[in-house]
Structure 1
Amino acid sequence: MTAESSPTLLLAVLVLGIFGDHCKAQELRCQCIQMHSDFISPQFIETLQLIPEGVQCSRKEVIVTLKNGQLVCLDPEAKWVKSLLEKVH
């Protein structure tokens, strides 16, 4: 490799590093499009994820994975969801 091609190679690597991983750029948005406020029994919930407000999304998001693998976004303002969050935290 010649010394003249090194800057070109370096530039190519930098461009790929910036634009190559487009998934991270897509994460800067809210995860939940639709939120559910209907009660879901805790016995059907496998995991609970709380995503606080931030630069990626201006609202708090509560996402549960049900035991059947389904992801459900819960309304963090629903009374039963608030109660669930208090028990978990």
Structure 2
Amino acid sequence: MNCKITFIALTILMFSGHLTDGLMRMDLRCKCIKTRLNFISPKHMKNIEIIPRGPHCPNVEIITTLKKGKETCLNPEAPWVKMMVERILKRREDH
């Protein structure tokens, strides 16, 4: 009897969105709501992550972690971002 009640409760939570919010949608949506267009010097960047478009998000996402620890989404259409991504990809090909 307890298993049946637990199953029903979990089913209700899942359909209401409370359980799926934390488990399912975390990786199934875009991480970047806003993007930054203005230039950031690479010397202020600690890391850069390029996330290709896919079923989770229709946009290419470029996220940099600044040396101060703040994550910032870069606009992939900005000319300076395009040039930086090309350099990164070229380095990866060379290695």
Question: Does the pair score TM above 0.5?
Answer: yes
Larger Rg: 1
Task: Identify the residue that residue 73 of structure 1 maps to in structure 2.
Answer: 73
Q: Tell me: CA distance 1:20–1:81, structure 2 relative to 1, closer, same or farther (3 Å).
A: closer
Unmatched segments (≥5 aa) in structure 2: 90-95
Q: Distance in 2 between matches of 1:38 and 1:20?
A: 36
Deviations 1:21-80 (A, max 9, x none): 823422211000100110000000000001111111011000000000011000001000
Letter in 2 for 1:80: W
**Identity rate, percent:** 36
Unmatched segments (≥5 aa) in structure 1: none
Q: Tell me: CA distance 1:21–1:86, structure 2 relative to 1, closer, same or farther (3 Å).
A: same
Could you state the TM-score of these two structures normalised by the residue count of structure 2?
0.71
Letter in 1 for 2:50: L
Could you state the TM-score of these two structures normalised by the residue count of structure 1?
0.75
Q: Distance in 2 between matches of 1:24 and 1:41?
A: 36
Q: Comparing both structures, which one devotes a greater share of its residues to helix?
A: 2
Q: Distance in 1 between matches of 2:48 and 2:26?
A: 22
Q: Tell me: CA distance 1:20–1:31, structure 2 relative to 1, closer, same or farther (3 Å).
A: closer
* Structure 1 ranges of 4+ moved more than 3 A: 18-21
Aligned residues: 80
Q: Give the CA RMSD over aligned residues.
A: 2.3
Secondary structure, in 3 states, of the residue corresponding to 2:30? Answer: coil
Task: Identify the residue that residue 47 of structure 2 maps to in structure 1.
Answer: 47
Report matched runs for 1:28-67 at 5 Å.
28-67=28-67
